């Protein structure tokens, strides 16, 4: 079933559907899309309708996906010491992860294998099985900033943006204005002095989403 067909089947607009997909944590619990989709899935379950099994990606599809998301040729300042300056909030990175995982040939395990390369070998970082799930379940500008997934995911998507020749959006430019003089958005430990800057980020996010 295609996205448009699913929206029609559950009786929601594309705007409501897309807004719901961008939400994190418990924010979507009041969404019409959440209620209608739950009712739709429950009805199918009671009728004994089984979801079609996802076909494993072919070898060629896997190779094409690896090539599409290959960022090995991109270098970012500070990368050698895992000190790339971050200019995205945790919520923004979560949105990018959700969008990335919608690619049928991308798996969570494969995504983690790719982003862990952003850490140096000396750090010997290994993701736990639920590392990604725990990060995605959080909600808030700095919720999850010390989670091991946040930093390497940002680095991956920043490299991908450069690789695809995409310009910085307004939010990214605003983040640079706020955080550049402080070495980027805090991802190791949130200092007390960053409270004012975080308020500015949240205020800007609310304003741009209105």
Considering the domain architecture, whether residues 165 and 111 belong to the same structural domain is answered as yes
pLDDT at 197: 45
pLDDT for position 78: 93
Closest among 25, 210, 37, 31 to 133, alpha carbons compared: 25
The number of beta carbons lying within 10 Å of the beta carbon of residue 162 is 15
pLDDT of residue 202: 42
pTM for the whole structure: 0.66
pLDDT in tens, the chain (210 residues): 678 788 888 888 888 888 888 777 677 778 888 888 888 888 888 888 776 665 666 778 778 888 899 999 999 999 999 899 999 999 999 999 999 999 989 999 999 999 999 998 888 888 877 889 999 999 998 899 999 999 999 999 999 999 999 999 999 999 999 889 888 887 755 444 444 444 444 444 434 444
- Mark out the alpha helices in 58-169 (DSSP H runs): 59-68, 90-101, 108-115, 131-136, 150-163
Number of domains in the chain: 2
Regarding whether 98 and 29 lie in a shared domain, the answer is no
Residues 21 and 94 in one domain: no
Any domain includes 54: no
- Residues 69 and 150 placed together within one structural domain of the fold: yes
| Residue 201 neighbours by CB distance under 10 Å | 23
Q: Is 51 contained in some domain?
A: no
| CA pair distance 75, 185, nearest whole angstrom | 19
Find the domain containing 18 and state its range.
3-46
Domain membership flag for residue 189: yes
Q: Are 35 and 68 in the same domain?
A: no
Could you tell me if residue 113 is inside a domain?
Answer: yes
Query: 26 with 109, same domain?
Result: no
| 29/84 same-domain check | no
Spatial neighbors of 107 by CB under 8 A, at least 6 apart, are none
Which residue, chain included where needed, has tokens 């559950």?
A: 10
Q: What is the pLDDT of residue 113?
A: 92
């Amino acid at each position: 079933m295609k996205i448009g067909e699913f929206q029609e089947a559950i009786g929601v607009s594309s705007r409501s559907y897309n807004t719901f997909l961008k939400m994190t944590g418990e924010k979507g619990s009041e969404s019409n899309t959440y209620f209608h989709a739950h009712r739709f899935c429950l009805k199918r379950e009671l009728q004994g309708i089984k979801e079609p099994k996802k076909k494993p990606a072919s070898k060629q599809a896997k190779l094409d996906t690896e090539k599409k998301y290959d960022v090995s040729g991109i270098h970012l300042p500070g990368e050698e010491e895992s000190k790339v300056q971050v200019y995205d909030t945790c919520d923004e990175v979560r949105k990018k992860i959700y969008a990335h995982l919608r690619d049928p040939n991308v798996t969570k395990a494969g995504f983690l294998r790719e982003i862990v390369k952003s850490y140096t070998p000396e750090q010997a970082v290994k993701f736990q099985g639920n590392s990604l799930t725990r990060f995605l379940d959080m909600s808030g500008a700095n919720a999850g900033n010390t989670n091991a997934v946040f930093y390497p995911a940002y680095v991956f998507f920043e490299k991908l943006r450069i690789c695809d020749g995409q310009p910085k959006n307004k939010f990214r430019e605003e983040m640079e204005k706020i955080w550049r003089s402080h070495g980027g958005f805090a991802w190791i430990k949130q200092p007390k002095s960053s409270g004012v800057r975080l308020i500015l980020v949240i205020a800007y996010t609310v304003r741009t989403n209105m």
